[in-house]
Chains A and B, each alone.
Chain A
Amino acid sequence: GAVVSQHPSWVICKSGTSVKIECRSLDFQATTMFWYRQFPKQSLMLMATSNEGSKATYEQGVEKDKFLINHASLTLSTLTVTSAHPEDSSFYICSARDRWLAGTDTQYFGPGTRLTVL
């Protein structure tokens, strides 16, 4: 149980284009999903918290107009990197919190998406 998928697993795009990454909780409902960014040999940096049916909450320094987050259902959140540039190249990981474990901070992570912007 508690499986989170991400699609695509890797993507290469040209500078200036937009890329959408999907995060799905496969066997549980997630009222809250999280988007992280991880640079090589570094820990995870929380970008934003996504709550189903409401606007995402972005961490300080994260451009909300550049990283668009939508959480339209209890099993799907999407991150769209708009007008991507080479500095946006990174490993993006999502996680989901089981609605029935809401008070425990337990997050289940997806396998990540490697974005390379040329």
Chain B
Amino acid sequence: AQSVTQPDIHITVSEGASLELRCNYSYGATPYLFWYVQSPGQGLQLLLKYFSGDTLVQGIKGFEAEFKRSQSSFNLRKPSVHWSDAAEYFCAVGAGGNKLVFGAGTILRVKS
């Protein structure tokens, strides 16, 4: 069965510092991969997605993610974090049959 692991429950970074959120997946075929962001009390906003082609994908708000098949990873990065990036981030894999399987989420805190 498909699964997604986000090993970090919480991450704290200083404003202006770089960020990397980890995501590992388990899926038999080439996956569709997604990163979503959720602010408190809100729904999820799609940051970026990978289907095929270039393994480095650019998203909104200055985020990017790199698909590494050999490591079964799809880590999210941002070169300089802003205070408004504080939120919870979810990695998800398209599991076929329309469904998405989500990781447990990583809460990002930004300190000034």
Spell out A's residues near B (CB within 8 Å): 2, 4, 6, 32, 34, 42-44, 46, 49, 91, 93, 95, 97, 104-112, 114
Contact = CB atoms under 8 A, between A and B. Distances in A.
Nearest to B33: A105
A97 B98 CA distance: 8
Contacts of B45: 109
A43 to B, nearest CB: 5
Interface in B62-102: 90, 94-96, 98-100, 102
B104 to A, nearest CB: 5
A2 B60 CA distance: 14
A114 B41 contact: yes
A49 B100 CA distance: 11
B98 A6 contact: no
Given A106-B46, A106-B49, A44 B102 contact: yes
B102 A111 contact: no
B42 A111 contact: yes
B38 to A, nearest CB: 8
Contacts of B102: 43-44
A112 B43 contact: yes
A104 B90 contact: no
A104 B94 contact: yes
Nearest to A2: B46
A106 B99 contact: no
Given A105-B34, A105-B94, 17 more contacts: A2-B46, A32-B98, A34-B100, A43-B90, A43-B103, A43-B104, A43-B105, A44-B102, A49-B98, A97-B98, A104-B94, A105-B100, A106-B46, A107-B46, A107-B100, A109-B46, A112-B42
B88 to A, nearest CB: 9
A50 to B, nearest CB: 10
Nearest to B93: A105
A109 B32 contact: no
Contacts of B32: 104-106
B11 interface: no
A59 to B, nearest CB: 9
